[in-house]
Amino acid sequence: MILYKGKIYPDSKQNELIDKLPEDLLFTLSHPNLAVFDKVIAAGDKMYRKAIDGGYDDVAIPLLNEFGISYQRYITMARAFSAEVLRYKCSVELGDDWQNLPPLSGGTVRRFAPLGVLFHVAAGNVDGLPAYSVAEGLLAGNINILKLPSGDSGLSVRLLSDLIAQEPDLAEYIYVFDVPSTEFDTMKRLANLADGVVVWGGDLAQHAARDMCGVNTVIIPWGHKLSFAYATPSVTDEQLDALALHICSTEQLLCSSCQGIFFDTDDEEELIAFAKRFFEILKARNLRFGKADAAMRGRNSVQLYTDRLENVYPLILSDEGVSVVVKRDARLELSYTFRNVWIKALPHTQIVKELKPNKGYLQTCGLLCSDKEKQTLADALIAAGLVRITGRDLSRTFFGEAHDGVYPLRQYSRVVEID
């Protein structure tokens, strides 16, 4: 499915439309719509109002049920498109006076300008994220080309079509193509039309982007990240239960999802005692929340059975589709996901040494400790490279927060200075 200037076309029209695209991009760049920012704000706010009135329930509710997300959280997420939040986002990321930057000494005038054309290579792990990536590009005034992820549900095209329906002048700023990543020549053509390539995905996606982009194209990577919890002996059962709820509700599938827990100890008996304590809490929360997908439970049962046969870990606890595996190393790694957690010893004095080698992959830490321990541990985690330190819900979002430690709108803009 292709979205081109507000109209839907079949994939068979792909080559014809891409041949036409350079001319259309140059025309828009030469005749920019100076009101595009206000139109994005207005269109986003109309979509937010539609969402809270139930206008997207037909697609939203099945997704909410599939991922165990409450309707209230969906409404909170939809508020990200409201005029109030979009303006706040611009203020936080670009500064309160971003639309009227004060001149430099000597009278040099400054202003933010878009990069020009952004090519978004989207990932498919979160429905709706591709559309939001385009919305961020629009806020900075860019023309946006979106490559849909494989297996896209159709939600992205629906949302972007609706955005254009609310404000038709946005049509020439949004182009969507369903190009397989294997069509390297087509991907390269689209990338070469862009001033910046926004890449969502892991190492393979990042390497592929570097291969298809010229040296005069900016690569803006939003790569896969790993997140974890760090607990001290002072952690409470209440804190651990909230962490267990986070693990069940995200199935450990997000970049901000807890993969495992580092425990502040160098004593294996103390580590095992903590693992047994958390396992009981996780098991109880799992039963209250409702079990994970049966196929994933089966997959993990086979993996855990193999681990027991190989007898390489000090302790493996599993029941009712959840597990806790104690490991002797302090390596940050992906878990088996779907409510299966590793637990490792990591004394607070070794945080920087052990975590710093993971530079570029670190995102969120759920810090579970006493108030008096918090600042010292947070400082160590920041020194190691973490960009987000939270309490018990690692995936909690709040308006104005950075993405992986940087502000997207600054990545999608440039500062122009005029004497």
CATH code, domain with 305: 3.40.309.10
Same domain, 279 and 249: yes
Same domain, 188 and 232: no
Q: Is the pTM of this model over 0.85?
A: yes
Question: 292 vs 115, which has greater pLDDT?
Answer: 115
pLDDT tens string 127-181: 678 888 999 999 999 999 999 987 676 788 899 999 999 999 999 999 999 998 8
Two structure tokens written together for 4? 């081109």
User: CA 238, 77, 173: angle at the middle one, nearest 5?
Assistant: 150
Rounded CA separation 41/239 (Å): 39
For residues 272-282, give the mean pLDDT: 98
Rounded CA separation 124/200 (Å): 9
Task: Examine residue 97 and state whether it is found in any structural domain, yes or no.
Answer: yes
pLDDT tens string 30-49: 999 888 999 999 999 999 99
Task: Examine residue 163 and state whether it is found in any structural domain, yes or no.
Answer: yes
**Count: domains in the chain:** 2
Same domain, 196 and 341: no
Same domain, 330 and 370: yes
Same domain, 238 and 205: no
Same domain, 14 and 144: yes
pLDDT at residue 143, as a whole number: 98
Task: Examine residue 379 and state whether it is found in any structural domain, yes or no.
Answer: yes
Same domain, 380 and 323: yes
> 340 is in which domain, residue-wise?
226-390
Task: Examine residue 397 and state whether it is found in any structural domain, yes or no.
Answer: no
Same domain, 248 and 357: yes
Same domain, 254 and 365: yes
Same domain, 26 and 166: yes
Of the candidates 42, 136, 129, 48, the residue with the CA atom closest to the CA atom of residue 92:
136
Task: Examine residue 250 and state whether it is found in any structural domain, yes or no.
Answer: yes
Same domain, 250 and 305: yes
pLDDT tens string 408-417: 999 999 999 9
Percent of the chain with pLDDT over 90: 70
pLDDT at residue 67, as a whole number: 67
Contact call for residues 156 and 128 (beta carbons, < 8 A): yes
pLDDT at residue 124, as a whole number: 64
Query: Is residue 96's pLDDT more than 70?
Result: yes
Task: Examine residue 395 and state whether it is found in any structural domain, yes or no.
Answer: no
Contact call for residues 252 and 322 (beta carbons, < 8 A): no
Same domain, 232 and 255: yes
Query: Is residue 236's pLDDT more than 70?
Result: yes
